[in-house]
Structure 1
Amino acid sequence: MSEPENVPPGVDLDKASPARLYDYYLGGKDNYPIDREAAERIRAVVPELEDIAWANRGFLQRAVHRLAALGIRQFIDVGAGLPTQNNTHQVAQAVDPAARVLYADNDPMVLAHARALLAGSPDTAAITADLREPEELLGQPAVRELIDFTQPVALLLVAVLHFIGDEDDPRGLIGRYLDALPPGSYLALSHGTADHQAPQALRVIDGVYSKATANAFFRTRDEIAGFFDGLELLPPHEGSAPGVAFSGDWGADDPESSDSDGSRWVYCGVARVP
């Protein structure tokens, strides 16, 4: 496990961070005691914590693979988090080695680790940026050098919008990103939900994230589905109707076996920009 003497510049050790908490949920090593203590408070009331994280991670990987199979060769992964197994560029470039991937996150630790991982890879880049500032993020030179905005792009907002409160207008933010993308682009999105979850668990999660570097704002299925308004949702799996699904269900070879307590904490979907 990383310890305080290894802290990159700009990292706040007085508060847990969503990126480092998620890293810990996935069994990673890029987290600190304050993150581990916070995560264990959640685990005490949400024993399926790792399942939640891995079900969401599986959605990301399956969504990227499906989009790459559909011919998408450019990906912007906003709120990418700390690098772990089978990252976006690895999934996309397994389909086409020339696929280009831009990672963005507002946590300085993410940039430090991502740059080390991506060193020597000309078709990937990582930037520090805030999801709430679409024009600034998309206007950064590294983005403009890597991404061709005349060609379709996949925008990945995976497990990040639940850190955006209503006062920051998440639907409006999505619209501002999509306005910059050409028709035929895609949005892949996942979001935590409080639907049917125990009030005690929700109180503990709220307490942990309210003291972290970002609060968590869980939303209902209908609210999450509303993020795709005006887009063409894909079916979560063969034989299903277009729509949102639990994270374990989307793209699963066997949706029944993929259903789990952890999966039911996250709704997700993939949609085409008409």
Structure 2
Amino acid sequence: MATEEKEQLMGDAVDDRPNACRIYGRLIGGDTVRAVDEGALSRLLTINPGTPAVARENRQFMLRAARTLAREYGVRQFLDLGCGFPTGDTPNLHEVVTAEQPEARVVYVDVEAEAVAVWRHRLGDTKNVTAVRGAVQDPSAVLGNARVLATLDFAHPVALVLTGVFPFVPDEDDPWALLGRFRDATCPGSHLVLSHALTSEDWPVGAEEVLRLYREEIQPMHPRLERDVLRFFEGYELLEPGVVATPAWRPDEPVAPELAAFKRAVAGVGRRI
């Protein structure tokens, strides 16, 4: 990555309010937060000390799903929309899939300039993997990006990865239609990997305080009913076990019944029909 390009991306990243992408990065074990994030993060953990566990469950689902698609279904192309920051203590998506499919191609996309800059620095000249700045609300710009088109061949199956992204897209932006535009750019046999927070009645005590904190200080969240999450899979055939509590999707080890029943967030993988 050219120095001037990195400096431009990092310069665009300056802000004066807590950032949801950086906070998520810290929740899954990274060192991404800045001083401006610390107060909101501290309040979040006070309201709900279990938040890091839920964030890590989301991350682990993504890795399990990506590994499953590469190993069992031979998927070699992945478009990770809303990828966030790379991690250091756990594998990243491209590391998981290239272990199964050495020629796999991966594009990381995020609206946060800082995250893209970190990815490009981290990736260096890694073959067949790149990072681009783009918003899930602008499918045309993402799908038409030169780096995306140079890396992925949409005439062959592509796995769309959207884990924990659409809770930050309001209904008025019609996230289902946005997903449909990405889906329609892929060919039959492509896949969707998706997780989504459910509405607060499925959360523990403190849910409304968490949503208020995000709304007032960080970035508004839009949890949804499970039936509305299922709508994202229109045009896809769900792989077993369907849409389930995030840790219960093909776990590496048995999951306690109470954890499988606890649906603060759900996840699923579909194959495009």
Provide TM-score, normalisation by structure 2. 0.90
- Residue 239 of structure 1 is matched in structure 2 by none
- Residue 189 of structure 1 is matched in structure 2 by 194
Secondary structure at the counterpart of residue 38 of structure 2: helix
Q: Deviations over 1:110-135 (max 9, x none)?
A: 01100011102021010000110001
Secondary structure at the counterpart of residue 149 of structure 1: coil
- Relative to its length, the structure with more helix (as a share) is 2
Is this contact kept in 2: 1:81–1:105, CA < 8 A? yes
Code of the aligned partner of 2:12: G
Does residue 79 of the first structure (1) align with residue 82 of the second (2)? yes
Does residue 234 of the first structure (1) align with residue 235 of the second (2)? no
Secondary structure at the counterpart of residue 194 of structure 2: strand
Percent sequence identity is 33
What CA RMSD, in Å, does the superposition of the two structures yield over aligned residues? 1.9
* Structure 1, unpaired ranges of 5+: 1-6, 237-242
Does residue 155 of the first structure (1) align with residue 160 of the second (2)? yes
Q: Distance in 2 between matches of 1:202 and 1:261?
A: 19
Q: Using a 3 Å threshold, how does the CA distance of structure 1 residues 41 and 117 change in structure 2: closer, same or farther?
A: same
Q: Distance in 1 between matches of 2:49 and 2:202?
A: 16
Q: Distance in 1 between matches of 2:126 and 2:28?
A: 25
Deviation at 1:50, TM superposition (A): 1.1
Deviation at 1:258, TM superposition (A): 7.8
Q: Using a 3 Å threshold, how does the CA distance of structure 1 residues 273 and 202 change in structure 2: closer, same or farther?
A: same
* Structure 2, unpaired ranges of 5+: 1-8
Q: Distance in 1 between matches of 2:218 and 2:49?
A: 23
How many aligned positions are there?
261
- Residue 249 of structure 2 is matched in structure 1 by 250
Q: Using a 3 Å threshold, how does the CA distance of structure 1 residues 263 and 90 change in structure 2: closer, same or farther?
A: farther
Within 5 Å, give how 1:258-269 maps onto structure 2: 260=259, 264-269=263-268
Deviation at 1:262, TM superposition (A): 11
Q: Distance in 1 between matches of 2:50 and 2:39?
A: 17
Deviation at 1:62, TM superposition (A): 0.3
Q: Distance in 1 between matches of 2:171 and 2:15?
A: 27
Q: Distance in 2 between matches of 1:104 and 1:205?
A: 26
Q: Using a 3 Å threshold, how does the CA distance of structure 1 residues 178 and 197 change in structure 2: closer, same or farther?
A: same
19-28 vs 155-164, which deviates more?
Answer: 19-28
Code of the aligned partner of 2:44: I
